[in-house]
Amino acid sequence: MEEAAHIAIFPSPGMGHLIPLVELAHRLLVHYRRLSITFIIPTAAGAPIKPQNDILNAMPENITSIFLPPVSLEDIPDDAALETRISLTFIRSLPALRTTLSELTGESTRKKPPSALLVDIFGPPSFDIAKEFNIPCYIFSTVSAMSLVSIFQCPLLDKMFTCEYRELTEPVKLPGCVPIQGADLAEPLQDKKNEAYMHVMQLAKIFSMAKGVLVNSFFDLEPGAFKALGEGREWCKPDIYPVGPLIRGGSEDPTGDRFECLKWLDNHPVGSVLFVSFGSGGTLSQEQLNELAFGLEQSSQRFLWVIKSPHGKSNASYFNAQSHLDPFGFLPEGFVDRVKDRGLVVSTWAPQVEILSHSSTGGFLTHCGWNSILESVVKGVPMIAWPLFAEQKMNAVMLTDGLGVAYRVKVDKNGLVGREEISKSVRSLIEGEDGHKMRLKMGELKDQAAVSLSQDGSSTMSLQRVVQKWVE
């Protein structure tokens, strides 16, 4: 059976970008079995390839992957912004991308030449190379529609405000979005002299060259932002396709047994446990880790906490989730024994989707990464928003002021979230009236998410429209 079309996917480094694109690939094949998909993976020297490899090796046979040669980032200062590291890994992989596309479009290949190159939000620098091979370019947005509005608006905001955004006294009004304080705009926009700001501004200008943008969100979650993107033709030129929520499937315990933490959850009442996790990339300082431990203890609520060893940088584990230090050694003395009847601490990783699916899980303390938010929405779990880096503060504003499904922790003058604040927010979410209201609202969003992905749902129809263009 001849393939209908061949799509090349070029993700940025980092599991947070790869996983939703892998889910998109799976979803494409559900609807179009004759599609062929090639993942082209850039890597930085020394970054772990195994986690990505494990995911890609488990894909159906018409999804293949090519790892580009690792690029060196040794000349980049240690304090360079995360966005700078991602952008440079991507840009330095472009010569290898050209070689790969040349091979994929050559006569010797058994596949059809790619009828589209799909990149994520750091990928537009590859557009010029795709143009050489006459391949139309599309962007897959791994961030919310609200964040996407902010990217398209970057050049306009830059002209409008000469000062740093955190110095603004009035909130910034993005089209179709809840007003946002300047300090809550994405981290790379917070220092106009930083190289990361320059990278974002360059990306924003190239975004308009895309034929279309597929967004990992759904219309009913962000109707205002999607309407603004569809109507703002002067500043948002590509067609916009909401295709989400795309979240990872469940994880299997390599022993073939059920994960211990899920068995632990079985022993607790419905909706009584707070799940605490800062994602694959988020880390806390030692001082903040102590405050969190004491806050959870003070709250008297049940909790399941995925702990990582502390670090001075909040995104320290983004490129490398493997810490070589035992995180339990950093907990306050006697903590595990004192909370053993109602708290479970798990080292480094836990099956997040299964935990959020469990009936005992009543809340999620999260760093507000977009993947984690979508998983929480799909499973109907209200949140405590504790943003750390990237666009996570924007996401927190959307969850609290826009949707009313999260409580945002307050940071003190030393940059810490104190134990009293943590204890109060945990009790409020699990036991309080506000938590009850958030749970009801989350139930509505959960239903709307399921409808959007149903056979005639808005996201399914949107995906069909874009694939029709690729196939034709």
Q: Catalytic site residues?
A: 17, 120
Whole-angstrom distance between the N-terminal and C-terminal Cα of the chain? 17
Q: Are 121 and 151 in contact (CB under 8 A)?
A: yes
SS (H, E, C) 137-184: EEEEECCCHHHHHHHHHHHHHHHHCCCCHHHCCCCECCCCCCCECHHH
Residue matched to tokens 């009543």: 362
Cα–Cα distance measured from residue 149 to residue 171, given in angstroms and rounded to the nearest whole number = 16
Cα–Cα distance measured from residue 430 to residue 274, given in angstroms and rounded to the nearest whole number = 7
Cα–Cα distance measured from residue 45 to residue 94, given in angstroms and rounded to the nearest whole number = 15
User: Which amino acid, 449?
Assistant: A
Looking from the CA of 274 toward its CB, the CA atoms found within 13 Å total 28
Closest CA to 296 of 360, 262, 344, 361: 344
Q: Are 321 and 349 in contact (CB under 8 A)?
A: yes
Q: What are phi and psi of 424, to 5 degrees?
A: -65, -45
Q: What are phi and psi of 41, to 5 degrees?
A: -105, 115
Cα–Cα distance measured from residue 5 to residue 112, given in angstroms and rounded to the nearest whole number = 7
Closest CA to 97 of 81, 118, 112, 111: 118
Strand partners, 174: none
Report the 10 Å Cβ neighbour count for 69.
12
Where in 28-166 does DSSP place strands (E)?
35-41, 63-67, 116-119, 137-141
Cα–Cα distance measured from residue 283 to residue 278, given in angstroms and rounded to the nearest whole number = 7
Cα–Cα distance measured from residue 272 to residue 363, given in angstroms and rounded to the nearest whole number = 8
Q: What is the DSSP string of 221-275?
A: TSHHHHHHHHH-TTT--SEEEE-----------TTSSPPHHHHHHHTS-TT-EEE
Cα–Cα distance measured from residue 457 to residue 218, given in angstroms and rounded to the nearest whole number = 10
